[in-house]
Amino acid sequence: MASVPYYERHIFFCLNDRENGENSCAHHGAKAGFDHCKSRVKKEQLAGPGKIRVNKAGCMDRCAGGPVAVVYPEGTWYTYVDDSDIDEIVDSHLKQGKVVERLLLPPNVGR
């Protein structure tokens, strides 16, 4: 029997901060992106069971493309620069299920 997912979509933002000087998402505005996404999702009443969940994550080993976020269940990886990029992810992918092609993280980008 197939189960209904608790959330329709789940977006994780890497907020890892490498204090040894190595590149990390925290050095590229990841916390601001997370905060903006969480605020937008709540403001538009998209948060909660059966809807959208916005979560913090530790290192996801995609540092070279940072800051990064990933949307599940699709497993779509994004990189972003500012609030307008986050708005586009919310409006297109989280609300409508349409991938934002221009913000996709190339598949070969790792740590």
pLDDT at residue 2 in the model: 62
- Burial class of residue 68, CB neighbours in 10 A (0-12, 13-18, 19+): buried
The C-alpha atoms of residue 105 and residue 77 are separated, in whole angstroms, by 5
Q: Does the structure show a pLDDT above 70 at 23? A: yes
- 57 or 4, greater pLDDT: 57
Given this model, what pLDDT does residue 1 score?
58
Confidence of residue 54 (pLDDT cuts 50, 70, 90): very high
What CATH number belongs to 9-103? 3.40.30.10
Query: What average pLDDT score do residues 4-19 get?
Result: 92
